[in-house]
């Protein structure tokens, strides 16, 4: 995926930029569930680079959203997978 400064840049048409931001938002919602299998599937299906996805509003990464998993154990597993 694109670096955050790239996704906010004038180099991308607004529609494409919006599409990338929506993709990141959807991905972060899956990360918050703590389901590593679903996250892996999404990464493979959409060929995502999770290190480059950044939330538009608060500039948070997938690791931050992993901490919002239902349990601490799931959060740690998800963080290990993401890193």
Region 44-66: what's the mean pLDDT?
A: 93
Higher pLDDT, 16 or 82: 82
Check if the beta carbon of residue 65 is closer than 8 Å to that of residue 28: yes
To which residue do tokens 């955050």 refer? 4
Please state the domain extents for the chain: 4-82
Q: Does the structure show a pLDDT above 60 at 22?
A: yes
Element (H, E) at 24: helix 14-33
Residues of 21-56 as b/e, b for ≥16 C-beta within 10 angstroms?
bebbeebbebbbebbbeebeebbeeeebebebbbbb
- According to the model, what pLDDT value does residue 18 have? 87
To which residue do tokens 């599409």 refer? 19
């Amino acid at each position: 995926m694109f670096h955050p400064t790239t996704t906010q840049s004038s180099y991308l048409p607004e529609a494409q930029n919006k599409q990338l931001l929506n993709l990141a938002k959807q991905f972060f919602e899956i990360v918050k569930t703590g389901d590593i299998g679903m996250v892996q599937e999404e990464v493979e299906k959409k060929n995502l680079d999770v290190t480059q996805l950044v939330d538009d509003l608060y500039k948070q990464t997938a690791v931050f959203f992993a901490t919002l998993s239902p349990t601490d154990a799931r959060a740690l597993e998800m963080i290990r997978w993401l890193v």
